[in-house]
Structure formats: structure tokens, C-alpha cells
């Protein structure tokens, strides 16, 4: 199976650099809708919640209706206060480790001026008490400095309470096989779906493929729920970017997944117990490709598959993830080969 490696890398860079925090995913949705125009789907549209949905009809009216879901939002934050000196207070959208916030470069989406850069600061260490220096302040005790001197100056830049932002990190190729960037959770799986469709583009396949590029996963699988309702799948895969904890200081039993070992397959997590028939179907696809894969250690996190599996009278669902170090932070690191293998596996899953 030949997947265009250069196109996968280029798409990963483009998707990573877009901004799409929960409830504000328009930039990503528009990008994906344009991409879908060239991928031979029969129908593509944006639903009232902002999900990008698509249908590629199968040749067999009795074939399966397979849903592929990837969320398009990323962790970020919302402005909760602007003081009269122009300092901005934020609340997080989705789970961000607050230890990573201090000193981070961030960007806001302005109403009028595109992107506004800023730096997350806190009171200088020499004026804080020793016990305070030992612990990380809460996110709402930090502030973002965008170089403005007053409340009015911030407002003139097109920012207000409710404006949103995320980390500022340019996606970078570190070497032939390694990428660093923000929002790999879950733009990586958006990339996987685009290239799966590219691969299936000119092949008549019996199953109908349903796509949900879903909004608001990081705040609780909201887009997945309504998307599954509209598309009415018979089985589903949530495609994800998951924790690779193959770093110093982590004992083997705590390594959730590792880089370079191929797609990570979930047996169970907080939101879902994967039915045996779905696991068997994934393993059969991998076997037919002679492709290496790994289990994701059960119980960590939840995904859109949880919301999809309880749609209507129930949808047998699984999860396949691309491993990534440092997810939910200002930058993650992953391997192109793991993305390529995941595309192969998902494309085969759709065809058997
Ligand atoms: Zn995710």
C-alpha cells in the first residue's frame, strides 16, 4: 500500500498550525471541507454544531456503515478578565497541565487583527513567599501579557471576554521521521482520515464510509454525539492521538504507548469497553497487512468512541490512535511512520 509520505507530512504541518479550540473550530472545519472536495466523497457538509460530516457511498446496499471520527478541536483557553493595565486572565478549555503554562508563548484569535501573540507570566519569584515558589500557580493566577498598556488597548486589538487562544508553536520537522507541533491531538487523526480517503478514492468498496470531523471533544464528546446521530453508523472507529509515555522515569507498566511501535489499539478506556468483534476486525486488518501494532494500556482517558457507542440503540466502536509524546501541552512529538501505518490499518479496516 503506497501512501504519499510527503503529503502526509505537509498536511500534518498545515493542520497543526491551524487554531481550533472547543466551540471555535471554524478555521479547521473550512480547511477540511476544501480538502474533501478532492477526495471523491458523495456528500460533505457542516452540521449546526460545527462538525464536518461526509459520506462516501459503498457499492453494496447491504454493506456496513462505518463511521470514522476524529476531533478537530484542541486544548486552549478563553479570556475571562482584562485588567486596566492590559493584563489578561484566562480559563482553560480542555485539560491542560498547568505546569506547562508558565512562560508559554500563546496566541489569541482576534476579531479584527488575526492572531495576537502573548506570553504567560506570573508574579516574579523574588516577591513571592518561599512556599509559593515551590508550587505552580493556578491558571487563573497567571496572566497573559500581550504588550498592551490598558484595557482599551486590548479591546482595540479585537480581544474581549470570551475571545479564545491556544499555544503558539510552529510545527517543525525535527528529522526525516520526527515532527514537533501543537494540536497533534487530534489533527493527526484528521490527517489519517484525509489520507485514508485519498487511498480509497478510486476504489469501489462495498461498505459506506461515514466521516465525522468532530467538534468539542476536549470538553466532552459533544460533536461526536450529534454526528453519530446524523450519520447513523453500524460500527465506528474513533481515531485519536494518544499518550506515548516512553520517556525517562516511567516504569514499563506505566508506559501507555510508545513511539515507533505502530498504531495503538484500545481494548478499554474510561469511556468504552471495545467489543471483541471490533477488536478482531482491527487485528484481522493488521494481519492482512502484516503490520506491527501495539495495545494502548487500558483505563487511560476517554475518547469520542464513548459517545458514539451509546448512540441510538448502540454502535459497536473501537479506537485506533497514533502515539504522541507530551499531548495536551504546547508541543507534542510523534513519528511519521506511526501515522503512515495507522492510515494503512484504517483503510484496510474499511475494506474488509
Ligand atoms: Zn484527542
For residues 85 and 109, membership in a common domain is answered with: yes
Range of the domain at 259: 5-74+182-351
**Helix (H), strand (E), coil (C) string for 63-89:** CCEEEEEEECCCCEEEEEEECCCCCEE
Q: How far is the CA of 93 from the centre of ligand 1 (A)?
A: 13
32 within domain boundaries: yes
Q: Which of 135, 167, 199 is the last residue of a domain?
A: 167
For residues 233 and 328, membership in a common domain is answered with: yes
pLDDT at residue 91 greater than cutoff 80 = yes
Per-residue model confidence (pLDDT) at position 126 = 65
Q: How far is the CA of 233 from the centre of ligand 1 (A)?
A: 21
For residues 111 and 38, membership in a common domain is answered with: no
Average pLDDT over residues 84-93: 95
CB burial of residue 5 (10 Å; 0-12, 13-18, 19+)? middle
Q: How far is the CA of 303 from the centre of ligand 1 (A)?
A: 7
Q: How far is the CA of 322 from the centre of ligand 1 (A)?
A: 10
DSSP 254: G
Average pLDDT over residues 286-308: 94
Q: How far is the CA of 71 from the centre of ligand 1 (A)?
A: 7
Residue 74 φ/ψ, nearest 5 degrees: -135, 160
For residues 257 and 324, membership in a common domain is answered with: yes
CATH of the domain at 157: 2.40.30.40
Tens digit of pLDDT for each residue in 139-166?
778 999 999 999 999 999 999 999 999 9
Per-residue model confidence (pLDDT) at position 128 = 67
176 within domain boundaries: no
For residues 160 and 188, membership in a common domain is answered with: no
For residues 268 and 318, membership in a common domain is answered with: yes
Q: How far is the CA of 262 from the centre of ligand 1 (A)?
A: 17
Looking at 74, 198, 217, 240, which residue is catalytic? 217
Edge-to-edge strand ranges of the sheet holding 178-181: 172-175, 178-181, 332-335
- At 234, the pLDDT band (50, 70, 90 cuts) reads very high
State the total domains in the chain.
Answer: 2
Q: What is the CB neighbour count within 10 angstroms for residue 110?
A: 18
Tens digit of pLDDT for each residue in 110-144?
999 999 999 999 877 666 677 777 777 887 789 99
283 within domain boundaries: yes
Tens digit of pLDDT for each residue in 178-210?
999 999 999 999 999 999 999 999 888 999 999
175 within domain boundaries: no
Lowest mean pLDDT among 97-111, 130-144, 292-306, 333-347: 130-144
Q: How far is the CA of 306 from the centre of ligand 1 (A)?
A: 12
217 catalytic per annotation: yes
Per-residue model confidence (pLDDT) at position 115 = 96
174 within domain boundaries: no
Q: How far is the CA of 252 from the centre of ligand 1 (A)?
A: 23
CATH of the domain at 29: 3.40.630.10
- Name the pTM for this structure: 0.95
Amino acid at each position: 500500500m503506497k501512501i504519499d509520505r510527503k503529503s502526509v507530512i505537509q498536511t500534518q504541518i498545515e493542520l497543526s498550525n491551524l487554531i481550533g479550540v472547543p466551540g471555535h473550530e471554524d478555521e479547521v472545519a473550512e480547511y477540511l471541507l476544501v480538502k474533501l472536495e478532492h477526495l471523491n466523497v458523495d456528500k460533505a457538509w457542516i452540521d449546526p454544531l460545527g462538525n464536518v460530516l461526509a459520506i462516501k457511498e459503498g457499492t453494496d446496499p447491504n454493506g456496513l456503515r462505518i463511521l470514522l471520527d476524529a476531533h478537530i478541536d484542541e486544548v486552549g483557553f478563553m479570556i475571562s478578565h482584562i485588567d486596566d493595565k492590559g493584563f489578561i486572565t484566562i480559563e482553560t478549555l480542555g485539560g491542560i497541565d498547568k505546569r506547562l503554562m508558565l512562560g508559554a508563548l500563546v496566541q489569541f484569535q482576534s476579531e479584527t487583527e488575526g492572531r495576537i501573540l502573548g506570553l504567560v507570566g506570573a508574579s516574579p519569584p523574588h516577591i513571592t513567599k518561599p512556599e509559593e515558589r515551590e508550587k505552580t500557580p493556578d491558571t487563573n493566577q497567571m496572566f497573559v501579557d500581550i504588550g498592551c498598556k490598558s484595557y482599551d488597548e486590548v479591546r482595540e486589538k479585537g480581544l474581549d471576554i470570551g475571545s479564545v487562544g491556544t499555544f503558539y508553536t510552529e510545527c517543525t520537522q525535527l528529522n526525516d521521521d520526527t515532527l514537533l507541533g501543537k494540536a497533534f491531538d487530534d489533527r493527526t487523526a484528521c490527517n489519517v482520515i484525509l489520507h485514508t480517503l485519498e487511498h480509497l478514492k478510486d476504489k469501489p468498496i462495498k461498505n459506506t464510509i461515514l466521516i465525522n470531523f468532530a467538534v468539542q471533544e476536549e470538553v466532552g464528546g459533544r460533536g461526536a454525539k450529534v454526528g453519530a446521530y446524523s450519520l447513523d453508523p453500524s460500527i465506528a472507529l474513533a481515531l485519536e492521538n494518544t499518550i506515548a509515555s516512553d520517556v525517562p522515569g516511567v516504569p514499563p507498566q506505566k508506559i501507555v504507548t510508545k513511539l515507533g511501535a505502530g498504531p495503538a489499539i484500545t481494548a478499554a478506556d474510561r469511556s468504552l469497553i471495545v467489543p471483541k468483534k471490533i477488536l478482531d476486525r482491527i487485528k484481522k486488518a493488521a494481519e492482512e497487512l502484516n503490520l506491527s501494532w501495539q495495545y494502548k494500556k487500558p483505563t487511560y482517558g476517554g475518547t469520542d468512541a464513548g459517545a458514539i457507542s451509546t448512540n441510538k440503540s448502540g454502535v459497536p466502536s473501537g479506537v485506533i490512535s497514533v502515539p504522541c509524546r507530551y499531548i495536551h501541552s504546547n508541543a507534542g512529538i510523534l513519528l511519521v511512520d506511526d501515522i503512515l501505518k495507522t492510515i494503512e490499518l484504517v483503510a484496510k479496516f474499511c475494506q474488509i
